[in-house]
Structure formats: structure tokens, C-alpha cells
A = this chain, B = another copy of it.
């Protein structure tokens, strides 16, 4: 072959990564085949050696963005001092840096509305990843009952993504900072140093 063993796989991954950034920044409609290939240093004709269609790429870009977000949370939870797992995730989430980095940020606020317009297969994959993400937060909840932990995990996730969206809508001034602070206060009140529900000796298990 002309290229190294997994050269094609690397190219494929590069295209998907770039697409997932653009997807978060500008929505699926902003993804242009020619632009994307140019960004990857290739010409547009080669696109169809990697993807069956533009829509297939969009599906992969969704999956990549969701998985990247989940990975980030797992890593944060693992690296945080015991009892500070949730606080660490929230502190990393509700920041001006995250607000301003839409393309590499959490998939949920960027893609929540977008996924409604995606094909059924993509929608299902996204819903499954969402379950995973809820599990990750749920494991860090300072509540003993699993049911309550799950309920609170969902609400915390909702508050986090909602806060980030509102902060983005508000722009980058005092109003936006106020929103971020309100979200942090709400999610973390009275839970700053409580113990998570599960030990973190093992990486988080997959979804149910």
C-alpha cells in the first residue's frame, strides 16, 4: 500500500474530529464536505472513500462529541480528590473557558436541539450515550439511595447544560458571569464535600 498500515483510519478519525467541532459550533447544516476535506488537507472527491454519505459522517460526528464529553467527565472524576468528584466536574464545566469554547465543549448544550433533526439511528445512539453520561454523574452523587441519586444526577445535568447555554446566550459580560455563578451555586449547594455513592477504583462501567 501507498501509506502506512492504519493511515486511512487516521485520516478517517481526523475528518470525524474536525466535523464534531464544526457540528458543535455551527450545527449539522454548517458541515460542508469540501470545506471539511480541505481542512484535513485532502480534496473533496476522496470523501466517499471514507463515508457513505454526508449524513453518515454527521452520525459519526455526533457519537464522537458525546463520547469525548463522557470521557472528560470520567477523567475528572478519577483525578479529583475523594469526595470532590462532582464538585470537580461542575467546576470544570461552568467556566468562562468552557462557555467560550463551543467547538470542543460539552456536546449536550451544542447538540441538544440539533439531534432532533438527525436520523433515527443517530438519535438512538445519542440517547444511549446520554444514559451513560447520567450514570457517570449519578455515581458521584452524595446520596445513598440509587433512585434519588439518579434523579438528582439528571437534575444536575439539566442545570449544568442549561446554565452553560444561558451564559452563552448572554454573551461574555457580567450578565454571563452572573449566570455561571448562579449555576455553580445551585448544583453545588450543600454538597461540596460529601462522599460519592461509589468507589472510583475501577473506571465507570458502561451503560445499563
Among B151, B155, B161, the residue within 8 A (CB) of A165 is B161
A183 and B175 CA atoms in complex are apart in Å by: 24
* Interface residue? A186 (CB, 8 A): yes
* Interface residue? A9 (CB, 8 A): no
Could you list 12 A-B pairs, sorted by A, with CB under 8 Å? A26-B117, A27-B117, A112-B168, A113-B113, A113-B114, A126-B169, A127-B170, A127-B175, A158-B163, A158-B182, A159-B186, A160-B162
| Distance in Å: Cβ of A167 to nearest Cβ of chain B | 9
Question: Closest chain B residue to A131 by CB distance?
Answer: B175
List A residues 137-182 near B (Cβ within 8 Å). Answer: 150-152, 154-155, 157-163, 165-166, 168-171, 175, 178-179, 181-182
Chain B residues positioned under 8 Å from A161 (CB to CB)? 162, 165-166
Encode contact with B along A98-127: 1 for CB under 8 Å, 0 otherwise: 000010000011111111110000010011
A182 and B143 CA atoms in complex are apart in Å by: 15
A interface bracket (residues with beta carbon within 8 Å of B): 35 or more
| Distance in Å: Cβ of A104 to nearest Cβ of chain B | 14
Chain B residues positioned under 8 Å from A157 (CB to CB)? 162, 166
Encode contact with B along A169-202: 1 for CB under 8 Å, 0 otherwise: 1110001001101110110000000000000000
A128 and B26 CA atoms in complex are apart in Å by: 23
